[in-house]
Amino acid sequence: MCTSLTYLDTDNHRYFARTMDFPTTTPWRPIFLPRRYPWPTGLATTRMTQYAILGGGRLPDHFKACLMADGINEAGLMCAELYLPHAVEYATQPQVNQINLTPQAFINWALGEHQSVAAVIADLPSVNLVGASWGDDTGEVYPFHWYLSDAHTSVVIEPTGGPLTAQPNPAGVLSNTPVLSDHQRRLNLYLAISGNQITTATRQAAQHVIQTKQPLPSGPIPTDRFIHMALRRLGTPQLAPQLAPQQVPTTLFRWLQEVSLPYHADRRHLISHNYTHYRCLITLATRTYRFIPRTTGHEQRLTLTPEMAATWRTPYLFPAD
């Protein structure tokens, strides 16, 4: 399934990137959600955005609200959801005096109602994630964890039981199951280092792998994709955009391509056929969202401008190609 990363260049510009890997569904495309947009939680309640959002999503069949998979809001908060099967634990019922959300509604809540990672973390004790479907006629409850970032920090939120908490992500990478700490342990094990923390020894070993051009793990397994991307990110010298303005987006899109899952036309109707629908890259400083769909391979470059946030009143689904 998906792979994501955050990145900081030598000019301290922040980026957020991901692949969207999923079985065949309704088309994924760039989507704009306005301020004061009422959206259903999936639990017979409706919430309203305070901040405009630009990101990747889709409009499920037989449902009127957009399902967002990633994006940035006008305040500069970025978020992506990724699959976490066999590890999540959701509540069975809504709770009184809590913010009750289905898993697919979490990203709308995070980006629609918060200016920063710190603001999301402050509200986490009030959130009750209920194992119910939202916007999907199959009735499936999706197992997610979330990667959030802003100008100051990046965190991962994993609903594995008990109150929701946020943890730092020193690897700067997130994939699917297992949980982050186990990914970090496996990365260290690959580098012959003990423990589940990203240390100076981890970074030095990753640099050696990249400098000596050793082959990186490949294939669809999430742990291999995490290790592959973490080695790229931790082991590559920090990119300098002043030397080549397009170096960062070009490099990050290439890294995403290395962990993308291929599409097989003869398997497209199989529910088990996961493939990369799109790659995206968010530039925090300009609120720019770059979207490359599998169908065309052409980059769409969209910017969430202050004028757009202030004047666009309705959701807008951009063409997928």
Q: Is the pLDDT of residue 138 over 80?
A: no
Q: Is the pLDDT of residue 136 over 70?
A: no
pLDDT attached to residue 137: 56
Cα–Cα distance for residue pair 87/16, rounded to 1 Å: 24
Give the mean pLDDT of the chain.
94
Q: Residue 273: pLDDT band by 50, 70, 90 thresholds?
A: confident
Q: Is the pLDDT of residue 105 over 60?
A: yes
The b-or-e profile of 72-98 (16+ CB within 10 A means b, else e) is bbbbbbbbbbbbbeebbebbeebeeee
Bridge-partner residues for 167, per DSSP? 156
Cα–Cα distance for residue pair 111/118, rounded to 1 Å: 12
Q: What is the pLDDT of residues 21-70, one digit of tens each?
A: 988 777 899 999 999 999 999 898 999 999 999 999 998 877 778 889 99
Question: At which residue do the structure tokens 């970090």 appear?
Answer: 184
pLDDT attached to residue 305: 98
Among residues 139, 172, 178, 131, the alpha carbon closest in space to that of 158 is found at: 178
Q: Residue 1: pLDDT band by 50, 70, 90 thresholds?
A: low
pLDDT attached to residue 226: 98
Give the C-alpha distances (Å, rounded to integers) separating 221 from 225, 260, 313.
Answer: 6, 11, 41
Decide: pTM greater than 0.85.
yes
Bridge-partner residues for 67, per DSSP? 58
Cα–Cα distance for residue pair 261/259, rounded to 1 Å: 7
